[in-house]
Chain A
Amino acid sequence: MSNHLYLIPLLPLAGFLINGLLGRKLGDKAVGFIGSAVIGIAFVLSVAAFVELLGLPVHERHIDRTFFTWLAAGSLEVPFGLLLDPLSALMILVVSGVSFIIHIYSIGYMHGDPGYPRYFSFLNLFVFFMLLLVLGDNYPIMFIGWEGVGLCSYLLIGFWFTDEARATAGKKAFIVNRVGDFGFLIGLFLIFATFGTLSYAGVSEQARYWVGPGSVIFWITLCMFFGATGKSAQIPLYVWLPDAMAGPTPVSALIHAATMVTAGVYMVARNSFLFALAPATLSIIAWVGVLTAIFAATIALVNNDIKKVLAYSTISQLGYMFVGCGVGAYAAGITHLMTHAFFKALLFLGAGSVIHAIQHAHERAGFVGDPQDIRYMGGLRRKLPTTYWTFAVACVAIAGIPPFSGFFSKDEIIWRSFAGGHPAVGVVAMIAAGLTAFYMFRLLYLTFHGGWRGRRDQADHLHESPPVMTMPLVVLGLLSIVGGWVAIPHVLGGGMRLEHFLAPSFRIAEELSVMHGHHSVSAEYLVMILSVALAVGGILWARAWYIRNPEAPKRALARAKWLYRLLLNKYYVDEIYDYAFVQTTLAFGDGAWRWFDIPIVDGLVNGLAKLVGWMGMVIRRVQTGLVSNYALMMAIGIILVVGYMVWK
């Protein structure tokens, strides 16, 4: 398989071209089949590649293939090369696997949409770029994938483009991401200027024996991380992700939860050999990660849109992954990336199932309203049993209750923060974990428990989604349970098998790492117990408020109105950004054009032309055509010349 690695990204590209060019002629059935089949085959090939890698001795698990020279100018040479190592092998498994499930689900979810072929071709294109991003063996190829997934995100957020708000959300996502990409690009230039190469192999080899100034590495890694905050929605560039929920829900599941938004985490992990040389950047990453985690969690506490809650949850969980990377536990960050892909994709698909059902009921009951507002839901567990059970599984998993997957991955990150010498980060992460449990169960209870809070005539039209949508939920539900079992810590009798598998990809970083935290078994137990206790506490609190005593939250809110308003308005960050960046840029543009380009730059040109014209007018008067005038002029001229000569 490794010799034909290119097939893995190429198949989705073929799907994109077929569906994009011929989709209308093929009909929806064929489009859905082709779109899903190419991803299915890519998944099978990824499994084959993974198995092949497992069959190799540990130190040989690094297959680098170059197919052609993409770009060459002077000393810059960028081959089109793909790299299969434990990290990328795991990533292509997750990407193609989750994509496949979501493609199947989409067949049901997008059924009857006039843009069906367009949807599948964009989704295929996305998978192509995402696979390229994780498989590329150098920075420019990663950047191609990086920008490409951003494009697909833009196209899919604004998929229903006749709605101006959705189109605006897509544009916002693209522009904010470009701001991040600016950082990525500068980092890339710095790498080239410093190391003279842009391949991972070349840079890591030099990084290993790096004796140059640390400040260069600091700037490189900081710029790269800035890029990551764009793609992976961290402070300060997270603002686009909640708006991105305007896209179809399977898109939110795939792009804005499971895969694309994790690209930043992947990028940091892939560059572990550089980040390990920059402890200052690592601290920044850990802090940005944990602050994002708690910041987004607080917003999720009060939001009433089922998808927005999940969006803020995603931002928060991505923060955990960065904490993992920031404290040097790259494998833990990647493990959380994987388990999060399972349970968050499940949560979004479950939300999609709910929205699907409610939208259907709205249509039947002749009602126009927001099908995503959880204040008008409730009691859905009886109407949508499969959706309910799988959604509940995902909630338990994200809350971090053992033995569900989220527990192992999140707990490892929290523990490694303590062990790696960042106790403060660990404490904040723990609190955020408690908040996570609270807001997730708030969402679960408000959506599925209690009684229906919408119009009564709608309730009769609520039905479970078709099997093509519920089967993916079940598969993801299973994965959300067992997905973490490859990462059971030693203290619980596990073998950390995923971490051992990933280790070769982080070998150089381990060698370079300056952090050698202490390891105490009892402390690890303590952290574990505490974080589970906080999670359980969060769940119980949610239960007390939203099941037992629904008046309690109202009373609490009445007491802290300003806080509630602050959270509901997302700390007014969008408004501040709009004022500070958007309006300022527009004002600059307007000023440059209206007050500089037209009156001054162009004014000078026209003024010069007018001056010449005016001079012509003036001088023309001299040419009177009267011989006597000319004679007079000559006489004056002669007198002047003679006078000058005499006087000299």
Chain B
Amino acid sequence: MDFLTLTIFIPLVGGLLILLVRRQSEGVAKGIALAASALTFVVSLPLIFGFDPGKGAYASGLGDLLQFEVDRPWIEALNIRYHIGLDGVSLLLVMLTTFLTPLAIWGSFTAIKQRVKTYYITFLMLETGMLGVFASVDLVLFYVFWEAMLIPMYLLIGVWGGPNRVYAAVKFILYTMVGSLLMLVGILWLYFNGVPGENTFDLVRIFHLGQIPDRAQLYLFGAFALAFAIKVPMFPFHTWLPDAHVEAPTAGSIVLAGILLKMGTYGFIRFCLPLFPYAAHHFAGLMMVLALIGIIYGALVTMMQTDMKRLIAYSSVSHLGFVMLGLFAFNMQGMQGGTIQMINHGLSTGALFFLVGVIYERRHTRTITDYGGLAKVMPKYATLFMIVALSSVGLPGLNGFVGEFLVLVGAFKAKAVYGILGATGVILAVVYLLWMYQRVFFGEVTNDANKKLLDLTTAEKVILAAIIVFIVWIGVHPTTFLSLSENSAQMVLTRLGGM
């Protein structure tokens, strides 16, 4: 059974099914959406259980690492193929996607009241797009999924978003498009010149046979890196993110922060580092500095936010800075730390956005000063919020620490000052999150509107509990997850020069 293809396209099929539903029967549409995304998760389970983490030890290219590979001709005239497969890194991200999407869909049930059918169709299309990006081994296939995923996200923000949604949606799509157009040029260059004597979009072939001159690497790195850096987002390309998050509906924010941003960092691991190692070394210093600015500057700006969602959005800039810091440390600790930190950020920030959504649905405000004393009214909500916040600030025993610790060890090894500056972000994270937490949850309930708020519903508890299970699991036994991506990380490092 080709579980990978099934995983990618079940959501799309689910979306098409919803098309057949009458407009009035919203319940059916919700049911199909949840069922389809849940089925996707179930179908993706054989991927993680069947994955052999030992495969591809000492690999020098992508080909040795790929599992669940499918390789069929698609557009033969241009040698474009339906080539998919997973290595450890993409497996983790595929699992993150199939895990978070049903939770986000379930969490939308009460929040989305307009154009319900269209909403769920859009969401399922988005899932297919995201899964396709992570699974593609053919560059055109990758690019098609990459662009295909933009449209549903654009709609999610632009149709179901807040008051300023059109501005945010246009900003999001234009910004991302500008980046990806240059990437398309890069892809075309690789097609014509990547492998001598052959025109191919196949990553496996480019990895193994590609000969890219140093000078060309610099341009290609630039073209790809711009697309990915916007997506991450790295400083100074980050300003689309807070706008997009503030306007997006809760589920959109969960997926945007949890998964979409990872496409940027994934792109660096998959393309920029292993394919253009000369350029990667050339630009490493710049990337590290930008990552550090992201960490510190991001945290400082986060601290001053008055809107909870904007605060979490800015904190993503800081957190993703850690990921980039790890990736460009060019050692095992940094690479593995960056990879696991991608998952961590997906879980923690996804959960944080969900938590903000919970309170927004009840009070229709996200302004911190509208709250205060919630711990007394909603003790369960306060407890779970605390756990997630602690995961986000990197408390040992929870997931965030594992990633940050490895990243900082790696960065310190690369250059002591990187590690030292990065570690200041650890202090600032406590400042902004605990400060927000205090203002929302502690003190007396001063606002009458907050006195009779409903604590978490069963559905909300289950959704959060599911995420927290992994938050604890990664914190207590990170080797379960680190071992999956180990060989991939090693491969990237080997190509970067055997460090």
Contacts and interface: CB of A to CB of B under 8 A. Distances in A.
Interface of A: 68-76, 140, 143-144, 146-148, 151, 154, 158, 161-164, 167-168, 171, 174-175, 178-179, 181-182, 185-186, 189-190, 192-193, 585-586, 588-590, 592-594, 597, 601-602, 604-605, 609
Closest 10 CB pairs of A and B: A74-B332, A167-B442, A144-B396, A602-B239, A189-B412, A73-B336, A589-B300, A164-B443, A589-B303, A161-B442
Nearest to A588: B300
Nearest to A602: B239
A72 B482 contact: yes
B402 interface: yes
Contact of A193 (B236, B395, B412): B412
Interface in B377-424: 390, 395-397, 401-402, 405-406, 408-409, 412-413, 416, 419-420, 423-424
B333 A73 contact: yes
Given A161-B376, A189-B412, 4 more contacts: A72-B483, A144-B401, A601-B235, A604-B236
A590 B396 contact: no
B395 A151 contact: yes
Interface string B169-213: 001001100000000000000000000000000000000000000
B426 A181 contact: yes
A590 B174 CA distance: 28
Nearest to A167: B442
A151 B301 contact: no
Q: Is the interface on chain B under 10, 10 to 19, 20 to 34, or 35 or more residues?
A: 35 or more
A147 B486 CA distance: 28
B427 interface: yes
B119 interface: no
A162 B443 contact: yes
B271 interface: no
B274 interface: no
A179 B427 contact: yes
B444 interface: yes
B441 A161 contact: yes
A342 B387 CA distance: 34
A171 B408 contact: no
B408 A185 contact: yes
Contact of A175 (B236, B300, B301, B434): B434
Interface of B: 171, 174-175, 235-236, 238-240, 297, 300-301, 303-305, 331-333, 335-337, 373, 375-376, 390, 395-397, 401-402, 405-406, 408-409, 412-413, 416, 419-420, 423-424, 426-427, 430-431, 434-435, 438, 441-444, 477-479, 482-483, 486, 489
20 contacts: A70-B479, A71-B402, A71-B406, A72-B482, A73-B486, A74-B332, A151-B390, A158-B442, A164-B443, A171-B434, A178-B427, A186-B412, A186-B423, A189-B408, A189-B413, A190-B412, A192-B412, A193-B412, A604-B236, A605-B239
A73 B427 contact: no
Contact of B333 (A74, A602, A609): A74
A589 B482 contact: no
Given A162-B373, A193-B413, A175 B337 contact: no
Given A71-B402, A167-B442, A597 B396 contact: no
B419 to A, nearest CB: 5
Nearest to A162: B444
B397 A76 contact: no
A147 B396 contact: yes
Contacts of B405: 71, 140
Contacts of A189: 408-409, 412-413, 416, 419
B409 A192 contact: yes
A77 to B, nearest CB: 10
